[in-house]
Amino acid sequence: MRRVPLLLLASALCSSLVVVFVACSEPAPVSRLPVTDDDEGPGTKRRDSGKKDDEVPDGADPPLPDGGKPPGRIYAHDKNTLYRFDPLAGTLVEVGVFDCVPQNGVGGLGSTKENDAVIDLALDRTGQMYATTYWRFIKVDATSGACQVIKTEAVANRYPNSLSFVPAGTIDPTQEALVGYAFDNLDDATIYTRIDLTTGEMTDEENLNPSPALNGVEYGISGDFISLVRDQGKTYAAIKQVTGDAGAGNDLLAEVNPKTGTLIAIIGDTGQKGYYGMGFWAGKAYGFTVSGDIYEVDIATGGSKLVLSAKDKDGAPIAWFGAGVTTDSPTAP
């Protein structure tokens, strides 16, 4: 997720202002999709219990008896609630509330430890889920949203709000590593950072921008990135220009080096701004915006098209704060 000044974000979420994201090609009409209680399609709007007899713990995909493909499984969230999106079936399920993150409504969003918000999440190859907040590093049960705090920072906004695991052998020789882009002294997400899963401590790696800068300009992570085991560890990010005519253009889809976090190449213009979350399934990336829209992104060109506009159980657009998927998600349809 892309960081927004706290007071501005609080105002945006509480006001009637709607941010419009325009696809690079005009999409076909899309129905607004309500949250449902199952994976079969629209139905009664109630919270998914998360636990099912045929579901393995913590978000990993169970093998199907007939050897067929598992359902699509991308996790996304707003400030306090976890959802599961199936891009194959076009369904969205509310999983549950992040119960270890306090939200008492006092002050601006994330302004105190008692009024926090989840800003991004990531899953490893087995489906173990971790997340960051303005103040905390937490472990999450992907079947319920229940969570436990691993570390609380003394100062807000230190944890990255763009997260992904990278494959074993990339940064750590024996295990997957959780990484994100922390903010530099200009408040741009450029510093590739590893987070220790046990302690929540952070270690800086390298910078998103190579030297000399690609195309003569510097970029920052717009909102999120994804790294894939089955695609030889290829890592894709939504980036934005932060020097020159900063903020004027759309988000760009780029490939980055998962070992160093450094930009390799720009793939193409997504046609949108403000990807706060990214996921991936069956050869396609998905971008999640604060207005509740989900876009399908072609990883070969960066081109995007609107898939759906999601509403919560009360009928309001879901303001997406982040998204994630296991590093072992399928790369072919």
Range of weakest confidence among 2-11, 49-58, 233-242: 2-11
In sequence order, the β-bridge partners of residue 266 are 254
Residue 8, exposed/middle/buried by CB under 10 A (0-12, 13-18, 19+)?
exposed
Whether 329 is covered by a domain: the verdict is: no
Does residue 301 belong to any structural domain of this protein?
yes
Average pLDDT (93-113) is 83
Looking at residues 265-280, what average pLDDT do you find?
92
Q: Which CATH number goes with the domain that contains 182?
A: 2.120.10
- Indicate the pTM of the whole model: 0.79
For residue 25, the enclosing domain spans 6-324
333 domain residue, yes or no: no
User: What is the chain's mean pLDDT, rounded?
Assistant: 80
Q: Tell me, what's the pLDDT at 310?
A: 92
Residue 101 within any structural domain of the chain: yes
> How confident is residue 247, by pLDDT bands cut at 50, 70 and 90?
confident
- Residues 284, 272: Cα–Cα separation, whole Å: 16
Q: How many domains does the chain have?
A: 1
Residue 156 confidence (pLDDT): 83
Cα–Cα distance, 20 to 44 (Å, whole number): 28
* Residue 300 belongs to some domain of the structure: yes
Residue 155: the pLDDT is 86
11, containing H or E segment: helix 6-14
Residue 1 lies in a domain: no
Under 8 Å between Cβ of 135 and 113: yes
